[in-house]
């Protein structure tokens, strides 16, 4: 089913309305949705036989994604709720396949020549191997992030990852550390990092410089070639699950200790 007003608040927390972490992520996803809903964003929900929402998928024109292509749609999240908390485990019911099929059909109806998604090479979140089973193939790689591609027509242009244009500069102010957070609002993981960076900034008000770069605006996004990311000085902090506040604080304090 398409996303309706009734389920918007549930979508904004990625079906995890029981999660304190999702509350901590703030309202950035709501802001992103309201900005993108008239720019081609598609959202589908999967429900079980009793009408309970157990899965979701969001996809949009590739121009708004961290990839480069032509006349294709990009899947930046597909998620079937598997936690014991809250809604419970909806895995092994075919929801993922149903969501993907619905998104592909919708994209085709909008004139898309193909569908592209990102998948992880390791067997956890957004597994690339799952997309391969659904008829997708790897066409580009950026670390563990693989770009998975399914053309709908023969003349579809193969997409590729967007290249980073520039990197945040290291702080030149003596005794201070710079945190730079790139976020568009589309993913609670990055939204959490932003909110936790704000907490670190509040704790070390005079020793931490926080740069918030909102990539929801295409000109900003294209200027950097970075959609989401966390940098301490000019070094990107790699993360899978969102960094906890304690881990982020420890990284910043370690850096500060070298300046004293």
pLDDT class of 86 with cuts at 50, 70, 90: confident
Average pLDDT over residues 44-53: 94
Quote the pLDDT of residue 84.
87
What are the pLDDT digits (tens) for 174-232?
889 999 999 999 999 999 999 999 999 999 999 999 999 999 999 999 999 999 999 99
Whole-model pTM: value is: 0.92
Q: Where are the alpha helices (DSSP H) in the chain?
A: 8-12, 20-24, 28-36, 95-109, 128-133, 188-203, 218-224, 245-257
The answer to whether the CB of 12 falls within 8 A of the CB of 34 is no
Average pLDDT of the residues of the chain: 93
Q: Measure the N-to-C terminal CA separation of the chain; round to a whole number of Å.
A: 57
């Amino acid at each position: 089913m398409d996303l309706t007003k009734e389920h918007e608040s549930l979508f904004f927390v990625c079906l995890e309305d029981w999660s304190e972490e999702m509350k901590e992520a703030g309202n950035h996803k709501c802001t992103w949705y309201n900005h993108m809903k008239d720019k081609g964003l598609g959202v589908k929900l999967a429900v079980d036989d009793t009408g309970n929402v157990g899965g979701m998928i969001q996809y949009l024109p590739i121009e708004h994604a961290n990839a480069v292509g032509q006349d294709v749609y990009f899947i930046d999240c597909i998620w079937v709720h598997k936690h014991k908390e809250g809604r419970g485990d909806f895995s092994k019911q075919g929801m993922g396949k149903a969501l993907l099929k619905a998104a592909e059909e919708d994209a085709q109806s909008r004139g898309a020549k193909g569908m592209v998604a990102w998948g992880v090479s390791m067997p956890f979140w957004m597994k690339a191997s799952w997309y391969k089973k659904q008829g997708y193939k790897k066409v580009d790689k950026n670390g563990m992030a693989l770009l998975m591609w399914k053309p709908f027509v023969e003349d579809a242009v193969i997409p590729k990852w967007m290249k980073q244009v520039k990197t945040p500069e290291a702080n030149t102010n003596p005794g201070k550390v710079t945190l730079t957070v790139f976020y568009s609002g589309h993913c609670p993981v990055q939204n959490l990092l932003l909110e936790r960076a704000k907490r670190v900034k509040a704790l070390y008000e005079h020793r931490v410089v926080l740069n918030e770069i909102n990539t929801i605006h295409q000109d900003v996004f294209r200027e950097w070639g970075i959609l989401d990311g966390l940098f301490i000085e000019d070094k990107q902090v790699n993360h899978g699950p969102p960094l906890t506040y304690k881990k982020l604080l420890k990284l910043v304090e370690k850096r500060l200790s070298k300046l004293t």
